Amino acid sequence: MYFSAIIFTSVLAASSLVSAAPAQRRDTKMMTSKTRLDAAGALYFITNEGDQNQVIAASINADGTLNLDRAVSTGGSGAHGITDPNGPDALFSQGSIKASAKGQVLATVNAGSNTISLFSIDPSTPTNINKIGNPVSSEGEFPISLAFSADGSRLCTLNGGTVNNVICYAVDKKTGLKAMPNTLRSLGLNQTTPATGPAGSASHVIFSEDGKQLFASVKGTPPSTPGFIAAFDVQDDGSLSSDFKSIPAPSGGLLPFSMSVIPGKNALLVTDPGVGFDIIDLAGNSSSAVKIDGQSATCWSSFSKKTGNLYLTDIGTSIVTEVQVDGNLNAKIVKQYNQTAGSATIDNDIASIGSNDFLYVLAPNATSVEVLSLESAGNAKNVQSLNIAGPTKAAGVTINAFNLQGMTSFVSQ
């Protein structure tokens, strides 16, 4: 019964595709006549198109609102996982594109060409990104998620296809990515290329708060097999333990998807589209599964430094759920925020602009990015719905509602 509840795209099958005319191959396509030079930061996501993957870059204004700026080719191709019915969330993942503020670099997966691309970010004009070196092999198949170390000097990748694993790279801002010794580690999943999902697929890779562990989440196949978190120890030289420790989903948990560190608690909030979300105590004392009544597929999450709460998005209900976790790892739902019905809210990220936090949510069925100002705990306000379809079509950039993926932000330090 849970399996049918988490077919992420069943409620979206009737939604129309939005696509533009095929684009000519150029590295960069401008969507504005003038690049903003006073931007507070930038927001990035990917087209994930099979013939040419592109990064869409939008400038972030001081008030948190966005202006689409440019599309830049990754030099690789995107892909869509195997699912029935077809729909958004092509990679069954979070973290398909990631920025490092300290490293001033941006990385993206190319799931169709099994490669990773690296870009430099100009901190004075952060939508100005430039490829560093050539895309490198992901050393696996169907790469879906990325994680930078805290200082931006290392990048780890999660592959979710037939050859599924994690691997880490040294980040060289002149030459690009170089695979690090003793970091290629198999997950041993029985998968396909492209991956078949959502159930049974890998989802997300992140570092622990202290950087001493690397976590990869794997969804289960309800009702028989619950999911787990693969935890690798990170050595001082950046190498990974030869085997991972399997951290099971808590009782009642089924499908670990995205992971967000709960600061100072040695714990993770893990979205779980089979129930709502899980709290995983990494000390092994008080993990729990928490139900979100009426949820359809709650899969993406981000933490706000300003409010101290986490914000979860549901592709089926198009609702943002704000969650508070106390010092004893007890979690409660603070408030829910309805977005446009049927918009398929997926990847999200939070940027801190001055003293304010803003939540950015990719809504592919509406071909938009929804912007919420996080005024205080329990008080988020929608301040913009940024249209993607018009500007990309005018610029000759191909987008497809079922392929759009990822969300990451950069704010100058």
Please report which confidence band the pLDDT of residue 200 belongs to, taking 50, 70 and 90 as the band edges. Answer: very high
At residue 27, the pLDDT reads: 82
Q: Is the pLDDT of residue 284 over 90?
A: no
At residue 10, the pLDDT reads: 29
Q: Is the pLDDT of residue 189 over 60?
A: yes
Report the chain's mean pLDDT, rounded to a whole number: 92
Please report which confidence band the pLDDT of residue 20 belongs to, taking 50, 70 and 90 as the band edges. Answer: very low
Q: Is the pLDDT of residue 286 over 50?
A: yes
| pLDDT tens digits along 131-160 | 999 999 999 999 999 999 999 999 999 999
- Stretch 406-410: mean pLDDT, rounded? 98
- Stretch 65-85: mean pLDDT, rounded? 97
Please report which confidence band the pLDDT of residue 1 belongs to, taking 50, 70 and 90 as the band edges. Answer: very low
At residue 91, the pLDDT reads: 98
Q: Is the pLDDT of residue 396 over 80?
A: yes
At residue 391, the pLDDT reads: 95
At residue 67, the pLDDT reads: 97
Q: Is the pLDDT of residue 227 over 60?
A: yes
At residue 37, the pLDDT reads: 64
What's the CATH number where 254 sits? Answer: 2.130.10.10
- Stretch 42-69: mean pLDDT, rounded? 97
At residue 201, the pLDDT reads: 98
- Stretch 80-91: mean pLDDT, rounded? 96
- Stretch 55-82: mean pLDDT, rounded? 97
Alpha-carbon distance of 199 to 4, in angstroms, equals 10
| pLDDT tens digits along 93-132 | 999 999 999 999 999 999 999 999 999 999 999 999 999 9
Q: Is the pLDDT of residue 23 over 90?
A: no
Q: Is the pLDDT of residue 5 over 50?
A: no
Number of domains in the chain: 1
- Stretch 226-252: mean pLDDT, rounded? 97
Domain assignment of residue 104, given as a range: 2-411
Q: Is the pLDDT of residue 251 over 50?
A: yes
Q: Is the pLDDT of residue 404 over 60?
A: yes
Q: Is the pLDDT of residue 15 over 50?
A: no
Residue 126: count other Cβ atoms within 10 Å of its Cβ: 27
Which of 26-35, 78-87, 206-215 is least confident? 26-35
| pLDDT tens digits along 295-351 | 999 999 999 999 999 999 999 999 999 999 999 999 999 999 999 999 999 999 999
